[in-house]
A and B are shown apart, each in its own frame.
Chain A
Amino acid sequence: MANDSTELLQGTLELLVLKTLTLEPMHGWGISQRIRQMSRDVLQVTQGSLYPALQRMKTKGLIRSEWRLTENNRRARYYMLTRAGERALAEERRKWERSSGAVNLVLAWAGGAE
């Protein structure tokens, strides 16, 4: 990949999608744009990973989809959170915070040879 955007782990991508959808129902392109904007262009979601992930989450029952019209009067598939998706978001978020906190602790460790 040309720019220095970060490749996302699968579990992380799902967490981000869930978070994005708490604001409002969105279509696939919207989701990828929103993630890019919110991460200030650091996180780039490729279509190749986004759409399979959306299908997987749908199969798991975390999101559901609906065909709606966009503001430009185009037919698009909108995704929205389900009850299970909200619960999953809370759970994933707690996990993420714990593990990222743990990683930060390790990085912030001041002891050792340095």
Chain B
Amino acid sequence: MSWASKLRELLRGIFFRTREDADRDDELRMHLELQVAENERAGMTPDEARRQAALSFGGIERVREEVREARGGAWLEDWAADVRYAFRILRTNPGFTAVALLTLTLGIGANTAMFSIVNGVLLKPLAYSEPDRLVRVYQASPRDGVLEGRFSRQDLEDYASRARSFSALAGFVSVSTILNGQGDPVEIEYTHVTDEFFRLLGVKPLLGRLLLDEDHRAAAPNALISESMWRSYLGADAGIIGSRILLRGEPYTVVGVLPASMTHPTPETAVWVPHSLVRPNVFSNGMPARGDRYLMAIGRLAPGVEAEAAQLELSRLAQELAQTYPETNDDWTAATVVSLQSSIVGKVDNALLVVLAVVGFILLIGCANLANLLLARGTARRREIAVRIALGAARSRIVRQLLTESVVLALLGGTFGLLLSYWGVQAVVALSADTLPRVENIRVDGQVIAFTIALSTLTGILFGLIPALRTAESTPQNEFRGGRGVVGTEGHRLRNSLVIAEVAIAVMLVVGAGLMARSFQMLRNVNAGFDPDRVLTVAMQLNLTGVPEQNIGEHLLRRRQEFMVALRNLPGVTSAGAINVFPLRQDGAFSTEYTPARPDLQSRVNANTRYVDPGYFRTMGIALLSGDTMPRQWPNDSPVPVFLSQSAARRLFADEDPIGQRIRVQWGEAIVTGIVADVRQIGIAQTPEPAVYFPHNIAPRLLATFVVRTNGDPAALVGPVRAAIRQIDPNQPIRSIVPLRTVMTESIAENRFFTVLFAVFGGLALLLAAVGIYGVLAYTVRQRTQEIGVRMAMGATTTDVLTMVGRAGMTLVGIGIFVGTLVSLALTRVLSSQLYGITALDPIAYLAGLGFLTLVALLAAYVPAFRASRVPPMVALRPE
């Protein structure tokens, strides 16, 4: 078996190298001695016999080497020797090694951390069967600019039965509820789902079964629970199936536990129940009708159908429905279909990829620095190399050995980088403050380790190749001619180009950070339509535990009123109010189509429906533009008074005075008694959406966010507010209790996250570039010490020297800034979708970024220039 003997010899060559070599030497020595003996027998003198034997042998070293190569595995041996040599070199230059390792650890660590985040969030497929066929489906109203609208149950059923692009369509709607009977009552997320939901996703239960079609029609409510709820609240009891849990005091039978991989619609969802359990008045006024759009939808594309084709088909069906049901569907003439994965990831993908590119650039700057260091060190090592070449080492062998050195260095840096990334990922995830989707998928796994190894190797070759090639160019003739080594202008040019390149890259990253910071500043200064200072918000779902069904409405109204009174009477509170769905938060939000109650007006508006307490507008500081404050009571026979937001009023009544006009509502008509300023409902960066505000007492709501305005610090009210609520209902859970300012900061947390990331990485880039500038100037000064000494002996002042060296440095920086600015002008466009209120060419961001960079560069150039100016002429003139 030829391969077996080959392997045996190879292994011997590796593991018994010393013994094999000794055997070979013994054998050759014996041969030589036998030859000498033979020669003596033939009559030669002992000396002559020895000489002839040696001659016929023909260079014992060469024979030894050839035998070794014939043994196989010689390359491996060489390589092992190179690695050992590399480690020795690294140990003998602790300064260089430390700087290089620090650079590589930061550079590779940042890349590994960002890669594991991008891999977990963007690249890993969803954990459902055939996840690439899963899509999110939206109804769209192009006229109102709504692209991602919800469905009514009736519409969704029609689409599901008619559309051929889908194997299935399913609706769901998430709300929160209160879990009782397991310690303190807690608010949990739960989701109503239609029949097809689980079959569509292809989820398998961890325990028990999924919801069956019967469950959707059954009177007794059955529910599925999440693994995390099962573990944290129900003690991971294997016998949980068939037992009851209390949601808002009502018993639900647990029929199954879903695995942790089930994260739809959100990773926090704790309970899934049939859609048939949706009650009247939760998402609508009365029973949900075709005009009540509250359901979100997912779909599984039929095999071979693309999302675009499905979207076309649904849009066509939407137009059919609009013709059949003009009353409710007139505006809903289109649909949007996007892959489920991208709908979960949202617009983070662009920003994450940009940050990944940013850390890639940082590594490039680090590589430029290391290449420069190696070039400088290569000059010092030219003699060593020349000796080896003179002794017969092939040039390719020298290059290979130098490259091994840089790759070993990079792999070491990669190892530390991997460790660093472990904390880096945690820091980034913590910094993201829950704005990153799919964080549960982020981990340092095999893919990430493979990425790090590949990146490290590539990095080692990238920064090591050019220095290795140049160092291996040294010729014995040049090196041994005496005096100091010749420093080619070519070497200078190479080093200078590297500095220019890294300054240019740093310009890009610093300008990028400037743009993000400016945009964030704009966001912070947005007028959201209310006055966010000195207001405390208290969000909750009113506790219904133990309240009989027929008393719910009355209970909700009374409880809400009790809370209002208690809050208003707290010391320091100047006013209080309440709303069912708070701006910038979307839980429980729904919108309705409104039309004027006038035959001559064809206008309509799709507006947020909100229920407020009269004190709400004053407490929030939302400007009342015309009309009266909202009345608490009105005569039974007169229409319900409503408030419109400015944009809703304009859509419905154009330029007419809206006060006193009537609009159609579910139960008849309502009269417009006030117009208030528009409020940013969805997000600070989104344009305000029209809203229609009803008095809260016409339809009792479960959800309530109370707002109190104080004349002091709102945070100081947290304790008293909690106490007041506990006194009224000790079992009332509070979802959140934070100052209004905090609600605003939370809504721009994602922007803050990316701004901080850019600032950190921009700073890192700047630091590395400064190190690069410093390194090159310091090296030049060291090389020109003699020249500088001569100049000073000839009468140059310290200022002259300072200017000379400083100018050299700032010329490089200047060219770098110029090139970097040009590149930035072309590239910062990729940030556009991340920017708010400024363009990607914002001059202030550019000037600030460039100014800061110039300042740092000046500092980096000043230090070596200052040292040069302190060169005592005598030292400089002393021979080496």
Contacts and interface: CB of A to CB of B under 8 A. Distances in A.
A52 B38 CA distance: 23
Contact of A52 (B2, B5, B23, B66): B66
A61 B9 CA distance: 9
Given A28-B31, A52-B67, A58 B5 contact: yes
Contacts of B31: 28-29, 47
A76 interface: yes
A49 B30 CA distance: 16
Given A46-B56, A77-B23, A60 B2 contact: yes
Contact of A59 (B57, B59, B72): B72
A48 B62 contact: yes
B2 A51 contact: no
Contacts of A28: 27, 31
Nearest to A56: B70
A47 B69 contact: no
B127 to A, nearest CB: 51
A74 B70 CA distance: 26
B71 A47 contact: no
**Chain B interface, >50% SS class:** helix
Nearest to B38: A33
Nearest to B57: A47
B745 to A, nearest CB: 72
A77 B70 CA distance: 17
A48 B63 contact: yes
A66 B72 CA distance: 19
B4 interface: yes
Given A60-B6, A61-B1, A46 B58 contact: yes
Interface in A28-82: 28-29, 33, 46-48, 51-53, 55-56, 58-61, 67, 74-77
B78 interface: no
A102 interface: no
B26 interface: yes
B35 interface: yes
Contacts of A33: 38
Nearest to A76: B30
User: Which of B2, B27, B71 has the most chain A CB atoms inside 10 A of its CB?
Assistant: B27
B68 to A, nearest CB: 8
Given A47-B57, A59-B70, A59-B72, A29 B5 contact: no
B9 A59 contact: yes
A8 interface: no
A61 B8 CA distance: 10
Given A55-B70, A59-B71, A59-B72, A84 B63 contact: no
Interface residues of B, number: 28
Interface in B40-68: 56-59, 62-63, 66-67
Contacts of B72: 59
Contacts of B5: 58-61
B587 to A, nearest CB: 74
Contacts of A56: 70
Contacts of B23: 67, 77
B66 A48 contact: yes
Given A52-B70, A61-B5, A47 B26 contact: no
A58 B6 CA distance: 8
Nearest to A74: B30
B389 interface: no
Contacts of B34: 29
A55 B4 contact: no
User: Which of B23, B30, B35, B58 has the most chain A CB atoms inside 10 A of its CB?
Assistant: B30
Contacts of B71: 55, 59
A106 to B, nearest CB: 34
Contacts of A46: 56-58
Contacts of B4: 61
B30 A29 contact: yes
Contact of B67 (A55, A60, A84): A55
A51 B28 contact: yes
Interface string B619-661: 0000000000000000000000000000000000000000000
Nearest to A58: B9
B12 to A, nearest CB: 10
Contacts of B9: 58-59
B27 to A, nearest CB: 5
Contacts of A75: 26, 30
Nearest to B31: A29
A60 B57 CA distance: 25
Given A52-B63, A55-B70, A77-B27, A47 B6 contact: no
Given A28-B31, A29-B35, A47-B58, A61 B66 contact: no
A74 B62 CA distance: 25
User: Which of B6, B28, B66 has the most chain A CB atoms inside 10 A of its CB?
Assistant: B66
B158 to A, nearest CB: 77
A60 B63 CA distance: 19
Nearest to B2: A61
Contacts of A51: 24, 27-28, 63, 66-67
A76 B693 CA distance: 105
Contacts of A53: 70
A35 to B, nearest CB: 14
Interface string A1-41: 00000000000000000000000000111000100000000
B14 to A, nearest CB: 14
Interface in B468-488: none
Contacts of B26: 75, 77
A74 B6 CA distance: 29
B70 A48 contact: no
Contacts of B63: 47-48, 51-52
A43 to B, nearest CB: 14
Nearest to B13: A59
Contacts of A77: 23, 26-27
B734 to A, nearest CB: 79
A18 to B, nearest CB: 15
A75 to B, nearest CB: 7
Nearest to A30: B34
B27 A76 contact: yes
B866 to A, nearest CB: 62
A27 B28 CA distance: 11
Contacts of A59: 5-6, 9, 70-72
Contacts of B70: 52-53, 55-56, 59
A19 to B, nearest CB: 20
Given A47-B63, A67-B23, 20 more contacts: A46-B56, A47-B28, A47-B57, A48-B57, A48-B62, A51-B24, A51-B27, A51-B28, A51-B67, A52-B67, A52-B70, A55-B67, A56-B70, A59-B9, A60-B6, A74-B30, A76-B30, A77-B23, A77-B27, A84-B2
Interface of A: 27-29, 33, 46-48, 51-53, 55-56, 58-61, 67, 74-77, 84
The 10 closest A-B pairs by CB, nearest first: A61-B5, A55-B70, A52-B66, A29-B34, A52-B70, A59-B9, A56-B70, A48-B58, A29-B31, A55-B67
24 contacts: A27-B27, A27-B30, A29-B31, A29-B34, A33-B38, A46-B57, A47-B63, A48-B58, A48-B62, A48-B63, A48-B66, A51-B24, A51-B63, A51-B67, A52-B70, A53-B70, A58-B5, A60-B2, A60-B5, A61-B2, A61-B5, A67-B23, A76-B30, A77-B26
